[in-house]
Chains A and B, each alone.
Chain A
């Protein structure tokens, strides 16, 4: 019995010593010292402590590379070009990189560790992206499954963005979510009101983020987000504008409408918004008020399956049914589509068949 106890004690001591040796080894070999990251041929130079992932390191220095998964390697958004110091391509990066990207030294910044001096290239507009702290000033049900979230900025106090862009909203730890995650939401409010933003959030079944926003977030809570991001914004031209959306895809479209009215953009605008039933239509009053401020916005809401009890007298069918009837040719037209990915693909196809060049069809596919 004594020998067994002695043996167990010896084993425990040995295990503890080995664990300690592993800790020491990790801190010695895992310590990469100071590293310098040169960005865009010297536009910025960062002196950082090595050992962490590039995405997090850049974020600590106030440079926000887009990420929807919080650095877990599941969204593929955090691509940067690493000219030197990136090490070999990792298996976790491979699914997200096309052959041309690999040849061009594009890497996933959430997977690459900073181990030595690095030279990287990032789009210059990323320098404009900031982290914001804000307070929830309103939570409003727009439909049975869609909520409007209103935020007043605390620090910084104002935000500069283009109508149509999105932000990355941080979902903190909560019951059912062990670590913070980020999710992208388009800004629905006007660029002319920079002290706050509005977001539209659809409840996604079992969604980590939407469950938090719909069921846990309350007025007065403080939140964090960063941005703005995205290439989905109004282009400057004389073309007629078609704005097409379903569901919460209306968010960036609303922001674009505010821009068109606030800046008195003198172009013909047609908005086609698709929903299922009358109760799924939202922002009807807001759009009507915008139409009262300018005569060049035509708004066509369409319901795909209105029951008789809705008493709906407006357009029926899908957005593609409406567009097929009203769009004769593709001349002098520019299209902005947002919402369900299948809808986006169908609308894009329709406009291409009508003759709108592909480079004048812009979309935010939400997928």
Chain B
């Protein structure tokens, strides 16, 4: 799953259905994207390949930054003298739409690149979906992690 090429399957249909049922929360992980999930996964995978990155590399970096942000207890934390990272927690937990065991805290992690002012937003669940499924969310989702933006903002 999340590896190129990606195939349409009944499982992926089910995952897509579950993502759709996440509305109205942030319009769900599919956002306002009109593409099928398989297309989103395939196109993002191709972009990741062309950028010379891997899902694991990106997830690892997001995890490290989130971990630093947690030390701030909701206040911005300066990381590597390059980023200001803040984490907000809301009540409740979320499952992975792929049906993996485990629940993820409802976190909202915001990173600002101090030099460029650009902002990247993700959640604990986002990190898992990138790492395990190569899913960067659909266009229009609040937590969409466009691979090119991720590379640029995180200076990967």
Binding site for B on A (CB under 8 A): 68-69, 72-77, 91-92, 94-96, 176-179, 181, 183-184, 204-208, 246-247, 276, 304-305, 318, 340-343, 366-367
Contacts and interface: CB of A to CB of B under 8 A. Distances in A.
B10 interface: no
A94 B26 CA distance: 24
Q: Which of B24, B75, B100, B102 has the most CB of A within 10 A?
A: B24
A342 B71 CA distance: 7
Given A74-B22, A205-B88, 7 more contacts: A74-B95, A95-B100, A204-B108, A206-B108, A305-B75, A366-B90, A367-B106
A181 B24 CA distance: 8
B90 A207 contact: yes
A227 B105 CA distance: 23
A343 B73 contact: yes
7 contacts: A69-B92, A73-B95, A74-B22, A92-B99, A95-B99, A318-B73, A367-B93
Interface string B91-105: 111111001111101
A204 B96 CA distance: 21
Contact of A75 (B92, B99, B100): B92
A208 B89 contact: no
Contacts of A205: 88, 108, 110, 121
What are the 10 closest A-B residue pairs judged by CB atoms, nearest first?
A177-B24, A95-B95, A178-B24, A75-B92, A206-B142, A68-B92, A367-B89, A340-B73, A204-B90, A343-B73
Contacts of B71: 342
Contact of B74 (A68, A206, A207, A246): A246
A246 B24 contact: no
Contacts of A246: 73-74
Q: Which of B21, B25, B108 has the most CB of A within 10 A?
A: B25
Contacts, number: 88
Q: Identify whether the interface residues of B are mostly helix, strand, loop, or mixed.
A: mixed
Contacts of B99: 91-92, 94-95
B26 A76 contact: no
Contact of B92 (A74, A177, A179, A247): A74
B23 interface: yes
A65 to B, nearest CB: 15
Interface residues of B, number: 33
B70 interface: yes
A176 B74 CA distance: 25
A207 B96 CA distance: 19
A179 B88 CA distance: 24
Given A72-B21, A318-B73, A204 B95 contact: no
Contacts of B101: 94-95
Contacts of B94: 74
Nearest to B89: A367
A184 B91 contact: yes
Given A74-B95, A94-B99, A181-B25, A304 B89 contact: no
A68 B91 contact: yes
Nearest to B105: A367
Contacts of B106: 367
Contacts of A340: 73-74, 89
A367 B106 CA distance: 7
